[in-house]
Structure 1
Amino acid sequence: MNETMAADTVKTALPPAPGADRYRSLDFANTTATLPAGQGYDLLAVPESSMRWLATHDLTTPDVQLYEVCAQRMRTLRGHVRALFAARVDGATPPEESLRAVNEALAAVPTAPLLAWDGAQGLRRIQAHPTDQAVSHALATLAADAADLLTGPDAVLLAACGSAPCDRFLLRTHGRRHWCSTRCGDRARAARAYARRNGTVN
C-alpha cells in the first residue's frame, strides 16, 4: 500500500467508536474494520500509517521511524486484543495464545536501562534500539489498557457493533445501543425498515 492508498484508507475509516476516548486499546482494536460491499480498511497496514496512529494517540513521537517488522508486531497484538474482546462479548473462554501475547507485551519493556559489557567501555547501561523500544513501550501501554478494560467495571459495557458486516467494538453508552457509529446505526435502521416493508419482520 502506497502513501496515496494509505491516505484514502484514513478517509474511509469510521469515526472512533463510543468508549475509544477512554480506552486507547478499543481504538487500537478498531484500526481494522469490515465495511459493506466487501470494503474495509486497516489503519496499521503500512509502517507510515502505523506511526501516525501511534503519534496521534500519544504513544510515540512523530519523528520515530517505524519499519514493517514493527507494524507487523502492532497488527499481531491487535489481533490478540480483538480475540480477547470478542471472547468477553461472547462470554467465551479467551484464547490461551491471546492471553499469552498480551502478557508478553506487558512484560517486554524493561523498567530500567540494561547492563551491558564491551571491551572498550567496560560495563555500562544501555537502552534497547530506540525504535524497537518505542514500539515495545507503546504495545505494553495498549496491552495494559486492554487488560484494564477487560477486568474493570466497564467490561460489562463492551459490545460488538450490531450492524453487519461491521466488526468493530464499542462501549454501550445509551441503553441497549450496539452501533459503533452513526453510519452503522443508520444502516441498521434502514435494514429493519426494508425488512418491515417486505413483511420479513413482525
Structure 2
Amino acid sequence: MTSAIDHEDRFRRVYADHFEALLAYAIRRVDRPEDASDIVAETFLVAWRRVREIPPDTEAKLWLYGVARRVLANHHRGDQRRDRLGDRLRQRLTGGPAVDPGTEVPDRLVVRAALARLGELDREVLTLTVWDGLEPREVATVLGVNAAAVRTRLSRARGRLRELIGDERASSGHVLDVLTRLIPEEGR
C-alpha cells in the first residue's frame, strides 16, 4: 500500500516533468496567455485529486494532455456562454426604451413561487437550462443522468410550470419572458 507521501512525491515528479509541456500546449490553444495558466492549474488540480489514477512514466504525459484537453473544452464552452450572454445583454441594452425593472417584480414572484412547487430535479433541470443556458446534454452531465431523461423532465417541468402560473398566452415551451428564452438546437 502506498502512503500519502509517496503520492505527493509522485505528483511533484509529474508536475516537474510535464508543467512546461502542458503550459505550451495550453498557450497554443487559448486567445489570452493568462488563460493558459488557469488551464494548467486546473489540469494539475485534477491530477492532484486523481494522483492514484495517473499512469506510469511516459503515459502520464498523455493522460495529462487528455485532462488538459477536457479542461480546455470546458474553458471554451464557458467563453461561448459568456459571449452569448454579452450579446444578449448588448441587445437588451440597445433594444429600445429603458424599462422600469420594478414592473417585472410581480411576474418574477409568481415564477419563483411556481418554481418552488416543482420537484427538486424538475426545478434544477429547468433552471440550469433556462437561467444558466446549459444544453440538455450539459445538464445531464451536471446532474449525472442521461440527456434523454433531461429532455423529458424539461418538457414536463415546462408544462407543469405553465399550469402553475396559468400563462395561457405563452407559446409552447415559453412561460413568461422573465423565465424563458429560446434554447438553441443541440448537436446530437
Q: TM-score range by the shorter chain?
A: under 0.3
Bigger relative CO (Cα 8 Å, ≥ 6 apart): 1
In the superposition, the TM-score normalised over structure 2's length comes to 0.26
Q: Which of the two has higher C-alpha Rg?
A: 2
Would you tell me which structure has more helix in proportion to its own residues? 2
Write 1 or 2 for the structure with the bigger share of strand: 1
Please report the TM-score for the alignment, with normalisation by the length of structure 1. 0.25
